Amino acid sequence: MNIEAIRNQILIEEREMQHLNNEISSLENARSNMTEEEYNRNLNNINTYLAQAQERLNQNRQIARAYDSVLTNIRALNQLATLTPRDRQQEDEIAEEKEAREEEIKRMNTFLSEDLQEEIRKTIEEENQTSIIQEEQIKTSSQSQAQDSSLETVSILDPNFNAAGMTYEDFRKKYREERNLYQNNEEMLGRLNNIYSMVRNRRRNEKNNPNYLKDQNGEVMYYPGTSIPQPRLQNWDEPTEDYNAFLYNVFGKQLEENGYFNHDSNNLLRLENKYNIDKQDEVKRLENKYNVDKQDEVKRLENKYPKTNTNSNPTSTTLKNRGYRDVIDELYLAMEEAGFETLGKKDASRVAASNIKVAKNFVNQVKNQPSLFYKITTAAYELPKGIASLIRKGWSKFRTSNEQKERVKFLQEKIQSLPSEDMEILYREYRGNEITNRLDQDSMNFLLNGAIAKYARDMAREYANKNELITRKAYLTKATIDMFQEKMGADKTSKKQKASYQGVIDYLTQDSGKMVGEFLENNNKQEEYLHGNSGIRNQQEDFRSSATKASNKGWRFAKKQDTDFELYHREREAFNAIKEGIIKAENGDKQGNIDALNALIDYNALEHSETSTKKGIFRGLYSTGKREAKEIVEENNYETDKSLLGLRNILLTFAAGTAIVSEYMHQLELQTILEKQKDAFDTVGQAGQTINSNKSTWAEGIKDTTYENIQAMQDIGERHAFTAQMNQNGRMTGDIYYDLDTKYHDMTKNSFDHAYNSFLDIASEHSAGTITDTQMLQQLADVAKDSYNNLLETYRNCVPTLEEYGLSKYATEELIGIISETAQKSPEAVVNMYQSLVDVSSIGDELVTLSAEQTQALQSLPSNMLSTVMTTAAMYGLVCQTGKSMANSNYNEEAKQANESLADMIADYEQMNTKDFLHEYNQGEEIFNQYNGNTQQTRGK
Amino acid sequence: MEQVEDLGKITIVKDGQEVECDIIFTFDNEELEKRYIAFTDYTKDENGRQNIYFGAIRPNIDYEKLEYNQLDKVTSKEELAMLQDVLNQITEL
């Protein structure tokens, strides 16, 4: 039977089965009309037919599937046969696939008859024949197309002809054709030969031009279908902007000069005209110019561009010419002068191997095998476990040398002592992505980025501080003039008094317009440093370090962050009122000063009502309102803030701990077990539930700080921060966290295995009667304590290791920044997390004590659950430890500290009466007493 | 390059099993102050290439009596390039 027949048979049998199933239904419906015996007999018959039909159907389907499979695989094999592997790896892959497909064909052929196999062969043959014919058809049609097209191209002698628009071979072919055509026309032949020579010479020159891309054989590479050379590739140490400059200014220019885009015949004419006419006169003129006047010319040039002394201070270059490269070069120079090497050791060949010893049997083995037959495997093995555990011995030291620390420290000091002009240059120009072959380029990038962020912060702070003073003055002035205006409005005030009050008001507000103008300027500058192209906030996208650690002093202004258009509109109106006041004042209208002042107060009140802040753990004040609060910053120093330090350590532990818990916590399973064995579980169950219920809180608190986030830190590290303090081999600092995490995983796995195996041993000894209940409980408690101690030791080993790195402040700030950034997404969660830590600490100690029933219950757990519980027991022992230390910290107290703030001042102004306000801020009484009933003018005082 | 009769053996744990490997070559790097050892269990990877493992040991340790905690893994690019270079030299003998 051929395949078509088989497929038809499948359809027939499917219909047959459907019919039989319908028969069964009919039989069921007619059951009441027949005896049981009849019913059963009929049913059996139908089922027999059904079974037979099903079997036939299955067989045919199998055959059809096998047929399709063989066909597909043969087609795939034919396709593979046409591929040329580009490297050994691909060759291996192709071979592998080939083998797999051949096996599949062999397997499928066992289901197929000879006839079907023959049919497949014929089908493939026909397909191959068809494709050959099609290819030939395409070929002939393209040839004819090519022939047609050649007739349509312009002649070489045509003014519009451009040899660069075709490959050189095509050009030569065309030249030969036309030479034959014009063989009897001397003039045409001459022109033809000239153009050909020009193109040929151009091509020869290309080979020596370093700006063009060459292949391995030194041949110039052209754009496809043309003879226009491609530009060289970007050098590995060449900044992109330089390469772009090369492309536009050098490569592009050369293409133009060499006439790739000009029509060659025209180009030739142009060149001929240029150098033929007056050539000799021109040459003489040039020779005379540079021979006779040469010395004078040289002197003139030397005077214009005097040579600089080698000892001259590089900073003598003008600020206009001085760029960030100059600053960086000087830093490297300083390093070299201090005796540090600055060139990178990127070439492996510079890291030389010596004292090579080879085993003879290996030499014999490799005699006929190139190095490609060997694979260097880096991470596929582990050290033997039995000798000593990783837990107790810790891990091998990270490779840092003292020299590396010294280098980085030196650089750090140099950068910190850069003058503000250099910092401004760096702030404007440096993007932190320099790639050079200099050693410590990564450190340099990192340190500079940190310094720039700090500089921007400092500058923003400077302007914010200025504005704070202005605002204070504004509020006090406003309160004072309000007071006087009130007095002026009173019935008892005489005209003379009114005049004197007015004089006071004029005096106090004479500079208000200017002051408000200054305020706006400072605000703009602050805005720029925070939010501009290289502002902190944008850098913060990269750094996430604590750029805006606010102090308790702060005042609120706004940056547009959301789309509250109504608010935006009101802001704009208030802003315009300010500007109108300023302009009025500038034009000599005294009322303008008061208007500007009023407008500023109003604007500020508007913003104040829309901003709110919260104190974060690391961030200090941060915005939670519609408008972002812009703070006067004072840095919180982690190293002196013990409560923050404690919390940081907890978070660090949690960063790894959460990874452990989330990986091994089988929440649903545990819940099921707990439900089934509630009574038996008792303490363990309760602890588990508490743990469970708190887990989500912890997860909220450090939402994404799992292994994946640690991986993400590596990505961030690649951009800037983490690459700083590594050794000469250029190992990325992101590896710290990778290693840490790997070690945590290793450690916890070992901890699991150790705890689980110990538990099994104890349980089996107990069940064999070798140890008593009490002994068992004690040993279980020991195991739990052991695991806990191991974790604790790891924790103790881990944190100092992080701090060991030279720029630990930055590194840990980064980590903290990332963790706190995550935490900031749900700030309540962090508070809750802390609280839950305290809760857990009260029950943690009980985990190490187990009753017999609890042990039995544990033993009945699936092995993975058991390991989970044992590890969680250990984990929470650790949590207890840190929770307890947390409870002793002063964090809460600090958060409650209230300082006098400008924000409070503003709030008070809105609520208090003028006299009390001035009294509160110790300004008004004096003025009030001075002018109350006193007609003396104070102008010019 | 010195050919030596026998460079000894080292036991590692691979996929949970202890495996004894032959040390096939060693070399030093004075700049980095490390000694590198290459060893193999003669197994092959999925592409049919023989696996060679590397470790680094600190100076002043007699590698013929190497203990477990005296072997560091090698992961930096420069060192790996150096190792490949040495392997190339050996295969060109």
The model's confidence at residue A645, banded by pLDDT at 50, 70 and 90, is very low
Q: Which two tokens stand for residue A778?
A: 């004690």
Q: Evaluate if residue A679 carries a pLDDT over 70.
A: no
Q: Per mean pLDDT, which of A175-189, A605-619, B56-70 is the most reliable?
A: A175-189
Q: Does A757 touch chain B (CB under 8 A)?
A: no
Average pLDDT over chain A, rounded to an integer = 60
Q: Distance, in angstroms, between A429 CA and closest chain B CA?
A: 32
Q: Distance, in angstroms, between A409 CA and closest chain B CA?
A: 21
- Candidates B30, B68, B83; nearest CB to A384: B68
Q: Which two tokens stand for residue A312?
A: 């001259």
User: What letter would DSSP give residue A315?
Assistant: G
The model's confidence at residue A152, banded by pLDDT at 50, 70 and 90, is very low
pLDDT for the residue A736? 40
Cβ neighbours for A554, distance < 8 A, ≥ 6 positions apart: A613, A621, A629, A631, A632, A901, A902, A903
Tens digits of pLDDT across chain B (93 residues) = 778 887 777 777 777 777 888 888 888 776 677 778 888 888 887 777 888 888 887 766 555 555 666 677 777 777 777 888 888 778 766
Between positions 720 and 749 of A, the ones with CB within 8 A of B are 729-731, 735
pLDDT for the residue A824? 39
Between positions 769 and 828 of A, the ones with CB within 8 A of B are none
- Candidates A92, A371, A387; nearest CB to B91: A371
B-chain residues near A394 (CB < 8 A): none
Mean pLDDT, range A784-788, rounded to an integer: 51
Cα(A702)–Cα(A364) distance, rounded to whole angstroms? 57
Inter-chain contact A730–B69, Cβ cutoff 8 Å?
Answer: no
Write out pLDDT tens, residues A31-83.
877 888 888 888 888 888 888 888 888 888 888 888 888 888 888 888 888 77
Q: Evaluate if residue A874 carries a pLDDT over 60.
A: no
B-chain residues near A377 (CB < 8 A): 45, 51-54
pLDDT for the residue A268? 62
Write out pLDDT tens, residues A293-345.
455 555 655 565 555 444 444 444 444 467 888 888 888 888 878 877 665 43
Nearest to A717 by CA among A745, A740, A703, A737: A737
Q: Evaluate if residue A91 carries a pLDDT over 60.
A: yes
Inter-chain contact B80–A376, Cβ cutoff 8 Å?
Answer: yes
Cα nearest neighbour of B16 on chain A: A382
A-chain residues near B89 (CB < 8 A): 356
Q: Which two tokens stand for residue A257?
A: 């000069």
Write out pLDDT tens, residues A845-861.
333 333 334 434 444 43
pLDDT for the residue B47? 72
pLDDT for the residue B60? 60
- Candidates B28, B78, B91; nearest CB to A729: B78
A-chain residues near B11 (CB < 8 A): 384
ipTM for this prediction: 0.91
Best mutation target among A88, A350, A378 (most B Cβ atoms within 10 Å) is A378
Of the two residues A577 and A734, the one the predictor is more confident about is: A577
B-chain residues near A729 (CB < 8 A): 32, 76-79
Is the CB of residue A706 less than 8 Å from the CB of residue A826? no
Q: Which two tokens stand for residue A565?
A: 């258009």
Inter-chain contact A357–B4, Cβ cutoff 8 Å?
Answer: yes
**What total number of domains does chain B contain?**
1
Percent of chain A's residues with pLDDT above 90? 0
Q: Does B43 touch chain A (CB under 8 A)?
A: no
Inter-chain contact B68–A357, Cβ cutoff 8 Å?
Answer: no
- Candidates B2, B68, B91; nearest CB to A357: B2
User: What letter would DSSP give residue A214?
Assistant: B
pLDDT for the residue A277? 40
Q: Does B69 touch chain A (CB under 8 A)?
A: yes
B-chain residues near A358 (CB < 8 A): 1-4, 24-25, 90, 93
Inter-chain contact B31–A396, Cβ cutoff 8 Å?
Answer: no
pLDDT for the residue A533? 47
pLDDT for the residue A306? 53
Q: What are residue A85's phi and psi, to 5 degrees?
A: -65, 140
Q: Evaluate if residue A677 carries a pLDDT over 70.
A: no
Of the two residues A677 and A761, the one the predictor is more confident about is: A761
Domain assignment of residue B85, given as a range:
9-91
- The C-alpha torsion from A734 through A737 and A740 to A744, rounded to 10°, is -140
Write out pLDDT tens, residues A198-226.
888 888 888 888 888 887 777 888 887 78
Cα(A454)–Cα(A378) distance, rounded to whole angstroms? 40
B-chain residues near A393 (CB < 8 A): 69
pLDDT for the residue A393? 24
Q: Does A492 touch chain B (CB under 8 A)?
A: no
Inter-chain contact B22–A361, Cβ cutoff 8 Å?
Answer: yes
CB pairs under 8 A between A and B: 168
Write out pLDDT tens, residues A894-911.
222 322 345 555 666 666
Write out pLDDT tens, residues A914-935.
666 666 665 544 554 554 444 3
CA torsion through residues A397, A398, A401, A407, sign = negative
The model's confidence at residue A405, banded by pLDDT at 50, 70 and 90, is low
Max intra-chain CA distance, chain B: 38
Q: Distance, in angstroms, between A364 CA and closest chain B CA?
A: 10
Write out pLDDT tens, residues A503-524.
778 877 888 888 888 888 887 7
B-chain residues near A88 (CB < 8 A): 47
Mean pLDDT, range A745-770, rounded to an integer: 54
Q: Distance, in angstroms, between A354 CA and closest chain B CA?
A: 5
Q: Which two tokens stand for residue A346?
A: 């990127």
Q: Evaluate if residue A249 carries a pLDDT over 70.
A: yes
Query: What residue spans define the domains of chain A?
Result: 3-132, 163-276, 466-635+910-931, 642-891
Q: Does A368 touch chain B (CB under 8 A)?
A: no
Mean pLDDT, range A350-369, rounded to an integer: 74
Best mutation target among A87, A368, A376, A739 (most B Cβ atoms within 10 Å) is A376
Q: Distance, in angstroms, between B27 CA and closest chain A CA?
A: 4
Cα nearest neighbour of B53 on chain A: A377
| H, E, C per residue of A734-785 | HHHHHHHHHHHHHHHHHHHHHHHHHHHHHHHHHHCCCCCHHHHHHHHHHHHH
Of the two residues A280 and A222, the one the predictor is more confident about is: A222
Q: Does B25 touch chain A (CB under 8 A)?
A: yes
Cα(A580)–Cα(A513) distance, rounded to whole angstroms? 10
Pairing of strands B50-57, A374-377: parallel
Cα nearest neighbour of B56 on chain A: A378
Residue B2 lies in a domain: no
pLDDT for the residue A685? 35
CA torsion through residues A636, A642, A645, A651, sign = negative
Q: Evaluate if residue A148 carries a pLDDT over 80.
A: no
Cβ neighbours for A116, distance < 8 A, ≥ 6 positions apart: A2, A3, A6, A63, A67
Q: Distance, in angstroms, between A342 CA and closest chain B CA?
A: 16
Cα(A885)–Cα(A838) distance, rounded to whole angstroms? 10
pLDDT for the residue A285? 58
Q: Distance, in angstroms, between B74 CA and closest chain A CA?
A: 7
Q: Distance, in angstroms, between B87 CA and closest chain A CA?
A: 6
Q: Does B67 touch chain A (CB under 8 A)?
A: yes
Q: Would you call A587 exposed, middle or buried from its count of C-beta atoms within 10 A (0-12, 13-18, 19+)? A: exposed
B-chain residues near A95 (CB < 8 A): none
